[in-house]
With several copies, the nearest count.
Chain A
């Protein structure tokens, strides 16, 4: 069955995707895969996930719409189909999430011909994993406050500084780096680089531990890292513009990490209702507690609203401002995730004290874990507070709050 207004060519491709996925669905590995690619920590996990991504790339379901000379499929409107079919098939995610979601489009828009030919193919195949160096200890929400310094010395740049929250840096060959090349101008003093990570002299990667007790991101220190000028992306002083391109894609990447396997909000709310129906206390189920049920139903309605928001965003006649709905996505997605997890803790009551390793923890302890992780979502890639600024300023046109 084809969908929407697939062209005959697209319908054929969709059919191909389905067939390929049905035939190539991987058997689950004998070890635990974490819930998302940003939590991948072990070498075992890395190897398995890289093999999977490479296989999918070879099958032509990754980078479908990129030119062939950069490792893509050279098609138009195929990625949407491949991504939908990957999601529908529920196969594992792709490990090179930062590369696919952020580095690749940034390089495509701002890179030289040489850069595109050199960096994109191994990115798509996951032969080279990428990470992102934006946040610093002193600049989280205020990205343009970056202090990591790139000093020009002939045709080399010497980089010193400290980046934090760098997902996947422990596996990464390359980083997309926002650095300061001039202290005189805040925004115009930034330049964007591709820098080597694994094995590069002057680079130290240290894992950071989340409040959940898991690792999954890192801090990266640069001490006199020397890179050639050919690793600069776009012009000197244009780093902020390039970073805006990356951020444009970051939200999209966070929502659908380059492939299927992520749990949807609908899955999550269904799991919550299931939990409520099966959690009994004092002679009734949590679902039979009208106050708890009302809270869950409010969330069920918001989850449906979020789904419909996405559907409506694609109907021009029913949107007033082109960015109004898309820019709400990150805020809604992350806050609803948090609220759903919080409601689950209320349902569990005392059992919500039990964590991942406890055999009696309901649904494997996923909810306290999800609740804590939800703060990662409402903080990372622009806190909810910053998202509200952006919506108020870019969509509604109110004065900048700074």
Chain B
């Protein structure tokens, strides 16, 4: 039975409220701006694009137990509900915080579905604060679990990985990668340390200032066969089982960011005057802002519904998660556009904070597939 309150109880509220307080302190917009947008030349003109985040803040997030949240107790985690994780992600998104938390959560979701003994040490590393990232996307940027840019071949008791994973998120903040590769038995999953010989990270020059992204090349990377975390017969299924939580947590992050866009645009519409009235007096400003709110509340409701299904009705989880991400993508596109437009000239400048969220949201919109893609996959579930 569906809990009326999405299972969002006292524990979840405490986690969320403490996260709010912590982030208010360490991740104000001024601090985030200083971190990622101090200088436009450095952001976009450097030969090697930046991958900035605050390592001390990350260490505190680890100390607060955030990397252990989604890890099963058997691997030293606290195994909180997905609604708790979604609530946390919403707060992260609200601050546009650069950190490997989302990527690490995604990796956690995959590892905990793998249920192989080999996955356990990696989960323990995550609890200990190691950042992780998924390397499962091919050069087309496909989000189909069966499509990978890597090939795995058994060589005695070793497995050799070759190829390139594209669009690896937060690659330079991760200590290891969860990798999918085509093997003779199907798509198998592996975990590979970032500093493993043969692994090379080629950073992408991206628009988003709050993430880093890279192609990760694997050149005859040899790992022990025992390090396989899902064999070819189950790799696609494992990725698919992890997908609802990935979609939902990403959508939660986007909801938080969209809410920031709403609040910031509303605040501007109250203080900025034109034609002897605050902007918000004009329906051409007021109504689009209301439409932002309506879109956000639809998305947010779908996010908690999906999270709640992951916690209690797994058979509906993917369906609801696709709905949440479809809605989140469309909401992000709409709110990002309006947040810039309704700020007028200033909204179009580097110095205005809306650009930071605009870019993060455009990036998130495409991650795991945009709205059109989600709906196409949703149709298959009906």
Please give the residue numbers on chain A whose beta carbons come within 8 Å of chain B beta carbons, in ascending order: 4, 135, 137-142, 145, 164-165, 208-211, 213-214, 273, 280-282, 289-294, 297-298, 300-302, 304-306, 308-309, 311-312, 314-315, 317-318, 324-325, 328, 331-332, 338, 342, 345-346, 349-358, 360-361, 365, 368, 371-372, 375-376, 378-380, 383-385, 388-389, 391-393, 395-402
Contact = CB atoms under 8 A, between A and B. Distances in A.
Contacts of B166: 350
Contacts of A290: 376
Contacts, number: 261
A18 to B, nearest CB: 17
Contact of B294 (A210, A331, A361): A331
Interface stretch (B50-58, B59-67, B148-156, B358-366): B358-366
Interface string B25-66: 000000000000000110111000100000000000000000
B266 interface: yes
Contact of B289 (A324, A350, A375, A396): A396
A354 to B, nearest CB: 6
Given A281-B142, A349-B140, A349-B141, 8 more contacts: A209-B350, A294-B372, A301-B326, A317-B8, A346-B372, A353-B167, A356-B44, A383-B344
B107 interface: no
User: 5 smallest A-B Cβ distances: which pairs?
Assistant: A350-B141, A398-B280, A308-B301, A305-B298, A209-B350
17 contacts: A140-B344, A209-B349, A211-B349, A213-B40, A281-B141, A297-B375, A311-B4, A342-B333, A346-B370, A350-B141, A353-B213, A368-B362, A372-B207, A378-B341, A388-B287, A392-B290, A393-B286
B269 interface: yes
Contacts of B270: 397-399
Contacts of B206: 353-355, 358
Contacts of A360: 139, 204, 215
Interface of B: 4-6, 8, 12-13, 16, 40-41, 43-45, 49, 137, 139-142, 144, 147, 166-167, 204-208, 213, 215, 266, 269-270, 273-278, 280-287, 289-291, 293-294, 297-302, 304-305, 320, 323, 326-327, 330, 333, 337, 340-341, 344-352, 355, 358-359, 362-363, 366-367, 369-370, 372-373, 375-376, 378-379, 382
B292 to A, nearest CB: 10
B167 A312 contact: no
A389 B327 CA distance: 24
Contact of B344 (A211, A318, A379, A402): A379
A368 B355 CA distance: 13
Contacts of A318: 5-6, 8, 300, 304
Contacts of A300: 323, 378
B205 A401 contact: no
Given A210-B350, A353-B366, A389 B167 contact: no
A392 B6 contact: no
Contact of A401 (B283, B305, B346): B283
A396 B372 contact: no
Contacts of A361: 205
A397 B350 contact: no
A139 B373 CA distance: 42
Contact of B300 (A312, A338, A398): A312
A331 B280 CA distance: 20
A379 B341 contact: yes
Nearest to B166: A350
Contact of A315 (B5, B266, B291, B302): B5
A306 B208 CA distance: 32
Contacts of B16: 317
A209 B351 contact: yes
Contacts of B8: 315, 317-318
Contact of B348 (A211, A306, A342): A211
A280 B333 CA distance: 23
A46 to B, nearest CB: 20
Contacts of B382: 273
B276 to A, nearest CB: 7
A375 to B, nearest CB: 5
Contact of B323 (A281, A301, A311, A328): A301
A139 B276 CA distance: 10
Contacts of A309: 297-298, 301
A143 to B, nearest CB: 10
Contacts of B302: 301, 304-305, 308
Contacts of B300: 312, 318
Nearest to B352: A211
A325 B299 CA distance: 12
Nearest to A392: B286
Contacts of B305: 304, 308, 311
A289 B375 CA distance: 13
A211 B44 CA distance: 11
